[in-house]
Chains A and B, each alone.
Chain A
Amino acid sequence: MALPLPPGLTPSEVGFLCEMEHVTVIPRQTLDGLELLGGPTGALKPPFPTPLPLWLALLLKKQRRANITPPPWLSVDALTQILDFETDERTAELFSPSPNLPPATTTAPLEGDPYLAHDSLELSAPFLKDAATARAQADALPYHWLEIGHLLITHAPDDFEDLDAVRKLLRDLREVRMSKLRKGFEVLDAGGGVKMNGVGGMEIAEVRGFVGGVVDGLRKLNRSREESRKERETEERENGFGSSSYRDDEDEDML
């Protein structure tokens, strides 16, 4: 209770969490596989590319023992394409979709409903495999795109073909998407909602403070109106008039 942290993950925590993502590394020297808490890593044998957790890859990179292959979505072509999608008039309200989910692994007790199986373990956004390795999907931004992009650009600048273009595109993308998020919250009112499909972890962490504040403020402003409305409803109910349907005001807490 006394912990002064705001609710939810802070940006630095999200940044820390993204280091569990796997990236593809081209080793420059041999290293046997390591037994890590997160699971064993493959043996490094130059020049075979091997997936490694980002934190380990960055460590090796700093010691010049490895090169990191940027994921396909971090190329100029892919980023330009995604940016075009974001800025296109027809899709201006949407965020570019997140990567496809892997096919369901468990067989369904009911036809076509694998997610209802009790023993199923279907992975989704932050736990998807290969979100940032060389096998990642090229035309979609994964959940941790902003953090990984930033880390790779700062720590492995020499592994990019066109660093400045990538950096510029990432910045553009970030600004476009952030402005979309902000615009979305202009309409936030009691009972309002914003569709945020495809938003990344860092973006949520960044807007959380702002949006939380706005929504709380709105709630405070509307409190008197709410209370009077509730009073009126109870009165009406007591007076025996037809009951108006109960409206769930808890919607606002979705963030």
Chain B
Amino acid sequence: MAARLRGRPAHAPGPTYLSYTPNGKKLITVGVNGALRVFQHGSDNEPAIIDVLTDGHTAVASTNDFIVVGAEDGSVTKYSLLTNSMEEILVRCSLPVRDVSLSKDGEWVAVASDELAVKVVNTRDMTRIMHLRDQSRPVKHVSFDVSGSTLAVSCTDGIVYMYSLSSEQPQLIKRVDGLIKTLETDAEANAKVAWHPDGRAFAAPTATRDFQCVARSDWQRQKAFSGGHRADISAAAWSPNGALLATAGVDKSLCIWETRSQRLLKSYDDVQNTILAIDWHPTDNVCSYTNNNGELFIREDFVPGEHAKHLRIALQPSPMNNDPLSEISGNARKQLSNGDKPNGVRRSAEDQYLDDLLGPDAMSEDEMDFIEDDDGAGYAEEMNHVGKRSAVTDAGRPAKRHAPFAAWKPQIHEAFQPGSTPWRGDRRYLCLNMTGFVWTVNQDTHHTVTVEFHDRQEHRDFHFTDPYKYDKASLNEKGTLFSCRPSTQTQQRAILYYRPHETWTTRTDWRTQLPAGEEVTSMSLSESCIVATTSKGYVRIYSLFGLPLKVYRQKSMPAVTCASWRDYVMTVGNGPVDGDGTTRMLYTVDNVRRDELCQSEDVVALREGTELRNIFFSDKGDPCIYDTEGVLLILLHWRTPGQAKWVPLLDTKTMDRLASGRKDETYWPVAVANNKFHCIILKGGDVYPHFPRPLLVDFDFKIPVSSFPAGGVEDEDKDVAQQRNLEEQYVRASLQHALASDLVDSTNSTSAQRAEVPVLERDVDKALLQLLAAECREGEERGMKALEIASLMRDRTGKMLEAAGKIAARFQRDILGEKITQLAERRLVGLVDEEDM
């Protein structure tokens, strides 16, 4: 290899830069002399030469069809690769251009020059130009992210400015301070931000000669590639799949790193001049670089043979400190048919094309939730033969061998633990409810778990070091339940750990191990039992003292989640496949003590395309779900088999506070208590609550009976709104009455609960009376409707009908009054019963 290493004299001695076209067919170099060279990939022929008017070129960026070249005279010129000729001058700066960067679609080019402002020019219409003016000193480098919506600007004041270009008006979203070194604009050392191909992180050379990764979601520093260079880094490039990193230093060093472990794979010592630009070939094991002596090196077999497999694997995740590997899903099972989740071998051209069309949006949920197995613990490997896997043109695997595996697979709902959030930074909530919250901090070798209570008088907060790395927790008034995943390295099995808050003997906390190979997918703690659903499809029920009470196989598998309240256990699993290719979620409500099934394999009513966000029992013990569309539903009549139905309590999208359209917020459901919906407000597109812990907010229920404009209404609209309000009130009161009477009928209710039912019944009738009054006010012709309303009265004593008659008399609706009296009389003698109405 050393024998072949001969620089190709591309340009006159001096700084030289290069760029591969995205299809990998051509390699363009620019240098100090007045010519550009276009090399054909895989051919040793003399390159094509584009003679140009400018010299002293300082930057080049390319698409398949054209290149953009910046020069020291301040011009940025577009050349066509089809005709190898100049097309137009895109922009002219008054000072030398230092860097250009093209967005992935080739639509925009960002230009850094010694001027203070960065210009972003449309490549097709040079009159469309954006100026980014927030930096105080000249800019050395610019770099578009993978989606082309964010631009990283490395300024000579040592700050990286992050601009969002997704709107017409560019916006500064973050100043990343203290990452890069302050450099002169013409220094050989480099401060260019290199976006990792997965788009979740970027990396830049630091003053300590490391290559530091920074997460894009929270701008926190992640892993670093350190110890490879003894001088400043002069160039760096991620391999196209992000699995490898090549860096070069001013000290004439050149290193290859493995992204996953940040290990130095190879360090080349045959570099003669400082490398100023590196670029990987998009598909082959070829890497090219240019130096400050006008030479171009095309290194074939750049990655040594034993590591070359890294180039053939699919897109790798960026090196984050806490990859959401142990997401709330517990990694029980990956989604089967999500072909765009990169696991297995690189995807086909069609997929990539689709991705290019759709593109990861700047702050899209999908990108934030990027789940990837990066520690090779075995989840991704298992997935390979079921996950989508299309052939690669150059990976040396025949396409048809894998074609059968690419068949359609149903999409299952992932398991989740209610009330927990994924890692963000090194923290996550394991449990968030009305008793308190449990959160854990990743300390690399162990976790530290903190349990805090809302009621500080009743319970004392506690904190412990957690060597097991618990990934699920459940908290209630009596105790805390934790579970951890089995670990392949230490032969550790999955553990359930219960810690009661108060005991009258010495500590009674206990641990129990699950059988080997079984892990907890979700669990729940109630006042009388502990429920865990496992990856083997079992539902395991323990007493609060660790006595296994029951084990049974769940009917619908794999399990999604579970919840419990006193002796009632609700388990949710993936059932048969629905029309849209996702499985239908089925739930079972079981009374563990009496061993009765309340509901068996009934449907969790979710609309197509929505997911379950949380599931919990209300403070009165009725199951509630909250979906990703923001609707809160409660299960009615669930104690009688076959009678259960989901009733919406609140549609958060239609709440008055969102009516103005100015607020962009979603809600993280926490609980239903005191006839209110308690939640955490999430702003700015967040999906999960973060630290510091936001305050709980409560909202009244509002059944989506009808929508009416809120605020600023005309007088007649006000009456209508009032009417709608009453109607909603009636439906809500009837629902609450039904829930309460169900509770009283089928449990050993307390006297307070029994006393509540007549009160709620009166509420229903009150709402009806008000509706009746409104109808009477409207006029004589609404008498029929008024009579119907009167006949809906629940009250059996006749008092309410008497009141209704009085209302009719007050508005002088005599006929109506007579009819109501008749109705009351017939009811008293029992002529009319429920069925007749």
List residues of chain A with CB under 8 Å of any chain B CB. Answer: 26-30, 45-49, 65, 67, 69, 134
Q: How far is the CB of B777 from chain A (nearest CB, A)?
A: 11
> Is there contact, CB below 8 Å, between A29 and B695?
no
> Is there contact, CB below 8 Å, between B455 and A30?
yes
B695 contact from A30, A65, A69, Cβ within 8 A: A69
Contacts of A29 in B (CB 8 A): 455-458
Contacts of B673 in A (CB 8 A): 48
- A-B contacts besides A47-B454, A48-B673, 13 pairs, CB < 8 Å: A26-B454, A28-B454, A29-B457, A30-B455, A30-B457, A30-B458, A45-B455, A46-B453, A46-B455, A47-B434, A48-B698, A65-B457, A67-B695
CA distance A45 to B455 in the complex (A): 8
**Chain B count of residues within 8 A CB distance of the other chain:** 13
The residue on A at minimum CB distance from B697 is A134
21 A-B interface contacts by CB (under 8 A): A26-B696, A27-B455, A28-B454, A28-B456, A28-B457, A29-B456, A29-B457, A29-B458, A30-B457, A30-B458, A46-B454, A46-B455, A46-B456, A46-B458, A47-B455, A47-B696, A49-B696, A49-B698, A67-B695, A69-B695, A134-B697
The residue on A at minimum CB distance from B692 is A161
The residue on B at minimum CB distance from A139 is B660
CA distance A30 to B457 in the complex (A): 7
Q: How far is the CB of A136 from chain B (nearest CB, A)?
A: 12
The residue on A at minimum CB distance from B433 is A47
Contacts of B695 in A (CB 8 A): 26, 67, 69
Contacts of B697 in A (CB 8 A): 134
CA distance A28 to B436 in the complex (A): 11
Q: How far is the CB of B529 from chain A (nearest CB, A)?
A: 25
Contacts of B434 in A (CB 8 A): 47
Contacts of B698 in A (CB 8 A): 48-49
Contacts of A45 in B (CB 8 A): 455
> Is there contact, CB below 8 Å, between A28 and B696?
no
Find the residue from B454, B673, B674, B698 having the highest chain A CB count within 10 A: B454
**In the complex, how many residue pairs between chain A and chain B have their CB atoms under 8 Å apart?**
34
Contacts of A26 in B (CB 8 A): 454, 695-696
Contacts of B458 in A (CB 8 A): 29-30, 46
Interface residues of B in 115-158 (CB under 8 A from A): none
Contacts of B696 in A (CB 8 A): 26, 47, 49
What does the 1/0 interface line of B180-222 toward A look like (CB < 8 Å)? 0000000000000000000000000000000000000000000
Contacts of A46 in B (CB 8 A): 453-456, 458
Contacts of A47 in B (CB 8 A): 434, 454-455, 696
The residue on B at minimum CB distance from A31 is B457
CA distance A80 to B705 in the complex (A): 35
CA distance A26 to B436 in the complex (A): 13
Q: How far is the CB of B750 from chain A (nearest CB, A)?
A: 18
CA distance A134 to B657 in the complex (A): 13
Q: How far is the CB of A112 from chain B (nearest CB, A)?
A: 9
Interface residues of B in 416-448 (CB under 8 A from A): 434
Contacts of B456 in A (CB 8 A): 28-29, 46
Contacts of A30 in B (CB 8 A): 455, 457-458
Contacts of A69 in B (CB 8 A): 695
> Is there contact, CB below 8 Å, between B674 and A28?
no
CA distance A48 to B695 in the complex (A): 11
Q: How far is the CB of A156 from chain B (nearest CB, A)?
A: 12
Q: How far is the CB of A21 from chain B (nearest CB, A)?
A: 20
Q: How far is the CB of A24 from chain B (nearest CB, A)?
A: 10
What does the 1/0 interface line of B646-687 toward A look like (CB < 8 Å)? 000000000000000000000000000110000000000000
Q: How far is the CB of A178 from chain B (nearest CB, A)?
A: 29
Interface residues of B in 22-38 (CB under 8 A from A): none
Find the residue from B455, B696, B698 having the highest chain A CB count within 10 A: B455
The residue on B at minimum CB distance from A49 is B698
Contacts of B455 in A (CB 8 A): 27-30, 45-47
Contacts of A48 in B (CB 8 A): 673-674, 698
CA distance A46 to B435 in the complex (A): 8
CA distance A48 to B671 in the complex (A): 11
Q: How far is the CB of A8 from chain B (nearest CB, A)?
A: 35
CA distance A80 to B165 in the complex (A): 26
Contacts of A134 in B (CB 8 A): 697
CA distance A27 to B673 in the complex (A): 16
Q: How far is the CB of B148 from chain A (nearest CB, A)?
A: 31
The residue on B at minimum CB distance from A47 is B454
CA distance A65 to B696 in the complex (A): 17
The residue on B at minimum CB distance from A138 is B657
Report the 4 A-B pairs with minimum CB-CB distance, sorted nearest first: A29-B457, A47-B454, A46-B454, A46-B455
Q: How far is the CB of B437 from chain A (nearest CB, A)?
A: 10
CA distance A28 to B453 in the complex (A): 9
Contacts of B454 in A (CB 8 A): 26, 28, 46-47
Q: How far is the CB of A7 from chain B (nearest CB, A)?
A: 40
The residue on A at minimum CB distance from B676 is A48
Q: How far is the CB of A73 from chain B (nearest CB, A)?
A: 13
CA distance A67 to B454 in the complex (A): 11
Q: How far is the CB of B670 from chain A (nearest CB, A)?
A: 9
